[in-house]
Structure 1
């Protein structure tokens, strides 16, 4: 994981990642909450099912 990435939940409830240059990249959907650690690890809670989702790599594939 890249500890230099920015993570955000958009107004559309989707999750986006940015390295600080270029456009935001879609990486997940239907998020209620998001937590990112300094080592780049990301955990979020699904808005509908309340399931916990963890991103294990720094790619744009939805986990």
Structure 2
């Protein structure tokens, strides 16, 4: 499972969603991956989006 956390590429982190995603993965018996990607304003749109697309393509 790939979990791209919400936050409109402005807030959030992989570590903030780790507990939630681990419960989902355990209940569904699948492996999970939560990538960290660039957030605004340090990395303005579309940087985070482009990184998310690259992650999907790599998987």
The TM-score normalised by the length of structure 1 is: 0.28
Write 1 or 2 for the structure with the bigger share of strand.
1
- Higher helix proportion, which one? 2
- Max Rg structure: 2
What is the TM-score normalised by the length of structure 2? 0.28
